[in-house]
Amino acid sequence: MNLLINSNAKRIPLADGVEIYQGDCMEIMPKLTHIQFDLGWADPPYNIGKKYDGYNDSMNDKDYMEWVGRWFNELQYRCRNIAIYPPKTKLLEYWNLMPHKHLIICAWSPFGAIRGNFIHQYIPLLVPSKPVTRVKDCWWNVQVSGLGYFYREKKYDHPGQTSLDITQRIIKAFTWPGDWVLDPFGGTGTTAEACIKLGRKCILIEQSKKYVDIAVKRIKRVLD
């Protein structure tokens, strides 16, 4: 399996309860024994050939799902609950991995991305079966990067940027203020921004120094 991942882990504390680890999530997660996380929130690579910095997003399906199974099991072990932003084409495989799950559909009215002549106007989320408060399982007019002109969030130099809107909704629905969130694919720091704004604590893991540098600058702006 050809995964080009930086093996030298580096801890970057940014505030009380806000940290980033630069390195491979499979190397770092087993070492995070000092915290029992309340929620693991993952928006993983989809294996669709995106040009990530230092990661091969074009594995064969068997290798990809073996890799998913490894980080998923470790995330599940570290966290009381987990929520996943899965690829539509692998929804069944992710569903079968998840214990005690529920499906949330995020939909929108503008035209979304066009792939194979399908105009995409929804994405699925796999979430814990017991939210901390009442929450609808259809979220309307969410912000996702595929909306193009209608995407109103600040854009960062990342091919698979996670929606801040969706991340905030997930964290509100499945954690309490002061809870700990673990994100094994931290990207450009979306989860940290959401946690800071909502009064949660978090650890992000990201293998790319390029994305970590972006995330650090982003988080410092949120903290200021």
Q: Report the percentage of the chain scoring pLDDT > 70.
A: 96
Give tens-digit pLDDT for 53-70. Answer: 888 888 999 999 999 999
In the structure, what pLDDT confidence band is assigned to residue 147 with cuts at 50, 70 and 90? Answer: confident
Which domains are assigned to the chain?
A: 11-223 (3.40.50.150)
Contacts of residue 44, Cβ cutoff 8 Å, sequence gap at least 6: 68, 71, 84, 85, 86, 184, 185
Candidates 124, 67, 75, 135; CA nearest to 99 is 75
pTM of the predicted model, to two decimals? 0.92
Q: Tokens standing for 5? A: 């991942």
Candidates 24, 62, 27; CA nearest to 212 is 24
Residue 203 has phi, psi (to 5 degrees) of -125, 130
End-to-end distance of the chain based on CA atoms, in angstroms?
Answer: 42
pLDDT for 145? 80
